Structure 1
């Protein structure tokens, strides 16, 4: 029997990074407890994630249940050692006092999606119960779809997401890091909005801040769109071509507590374009020409994680640092 050439060998299957958009999600960020036993438990858990997702998803086959698991830089070193993803590093804080992208603790990220919250809830329960006190959940957000794909501030979110082959090209690691083919980088931030102040603005003022019309979701003409608009500052070009990321942001909130927020989650083949977007937003392009949406929105968390391919995620159960 001949060994397949590298060009004909099957590439590892990705995790569910570009799954269909769903109506519900749970985002969980956890830290790893000290000691060798918690690390061993997490490694063993890696090969259980796919099976648990299938088992829960079978209850409602039409529910589109999926789960993505990622690891932060320090956790990767502690759990798996080398080799490590080439571009994985800690979340880079940026901005100025009062307008800052902050880094917060987090070793493991779970992004659970489905068209029913009960599926998300059940899978989160099963996944976390397997880990017990090996981890501590430091942030948990239940997100929901808001009308016709609206963000909490009332504008359609994710309009420019890549689709089809573009989604793969922009989110999946390729030949630049062959040991981690079909992995992905994911950056998350939790934003809280001052909705009272935002709603005091006219629709026209809001549109100039976002860079799109509110009702019809049409991008404003360049002749009237401010260079400080959200859409202007989050558009990244390289060699004349736009570099895209895949967003699956979700609104969340507790009206009784006056909490209204957006959970930002962006997947990309490299952290570089997402970090450039954040620098444009928080520092400005040029410096000082910052995203005016940040006058009404505050980032309270921030983390960067690497999502291994589905095949590698199971193999990591046998990896030792």
Structure 2
């Protein structure tokens, strides 16, 4: 790390939540030429984001780029982030957090979709045939920060310095300071079954009131509710993650979904949440939201600091 920049600049993980987003997951093409092209592209991301964003300064355009475990080895070799590994599956058949292919994640955010669309176009054009897009989702903000199932999403997100504390790697892995781990899943919802529930039944599944977004009292909140199982504590302290989930869908195709995206300084709290949800706490006491929601993708990525992202362009891995 250059001596005049002792604290790396992070990517835009803690930027304000926006009205639109595009999530792109891509796999790396085989061969050294593709890897070299992706490494060179690492220096283009910030410049392209500035160029597109400057056209609408009020649009709050940002882009976050992360890399999967196997792709990191191919692209950059050692050293590697201490806790980066493949997505860990949880649960049983019919209720499973599945792992799906993914080497590169792009999380593009802005107040309006045209900015996201333009930046995605420019970024993918620069990559050319070095990657293949395996999943692309255009997300939108739904009324007053609600998910497609009608409940407010992300209420318990940390803010300010706490957001940085819970999302940024620190002294525990100094070579990757100011980086983050990000876990993504695409969920599809059975809205016919969900809407057949009464509001009170829905509130027991989520663990919060629907209209006012207030957490149910512990005396009445089921232990299998979504909020109960996704609250993680360690050494008596709550460990938070930063969510920027977005609804998506195609009404004509009967597709209604939530793109889950969570950032943390370690994969551990996010994986604990998935284990609680899909296996249960204790086992069998699983998240009842999964009776209506199915995870169809899953990936874990490391988001290097903005400074390291540019430096990675010059890091050619040594293969024996």
Normalising by structure 2, what TM-score? 0.98
Q: CA deviation at 1:9?
A: 5.2
- How much is the aligned-residue C-alpha RMSD, in angstroms? 1.0
Where does residue 285 of structure 1 map in the other structure? 281
CA positional deviation for 1:267: 0.1
Paired with 1:124 and 1:9, the residues of 2 have a C-alpha distance of: 29
Correspondence 1:226-245 to 2 at 5 A: 226-245=222-241
Q: Name which of 293, 304, 309 aligns with 2:305.
A: 309
Q: Name the counterpart of 1:51.
A: 47
Map Cα deviations across residues 39-68 of structure 1 (whole Å, 9 max, x no partner): 000000000000000000000000000000
SS of 2:129 mapped into structure 1: helix
Partner of 2:267: 271
1:201 aligns with 2:182: no
- The 5-angstrom pairing of residues 152-167 of structure 1 reads 152-167=148-163
Structure 1 residue ranges without an equivalent (≥5)? none
Aligned 1:54-203 pairs, distance under 5 A: 54-203=50-199
Provide the rounded CA distance (Å) in 2 between the counterparts of 1:291 and 1:16.
31
CA displacement, residues 23-46 of structure 1 (integer Å, 9 cap, x when unaligned):
000000000000000000000000
3-state DSSP of counterpart to 2:210: coil
Please give the per-residue CA displacement for 1:201-256, whole angstroms capped at 9, x wherever unaligned.
00000000000000000000000000000000000001111000000000000000
Aligned-pair CA distance for 1:97: 1.1
Structure 1 residue aligned with 2:247: 251
CA distance in 1: counterparts of 2:124 and 2:174, whole angstroms: 31
SS at match of 1:129: helix
Structure 2 counterpart SS, 1:17: helix
Partner residue in 2 for 1:31 = 27
TM-score by length of 1: 0.98
| Alpha-carbon distance, 1:10 to partner | 2.7
Q: 2 CA distance for matches of 1:9 and 1:201?
A: 55
Query: For 1:261, what is the secondary structure of its paired residue?
Result: strand
Residues 9 and 127 of structure 1: CA distance in aligned 2, closer, same or farther (over 3 Å)? closer
Whole-angstrom CA distance in 2 between matches of 1:201 and 1:20: 33
Unaligned ranges ≥5, structure 2? none
Size of the aligned set, in residue pairs, is 316
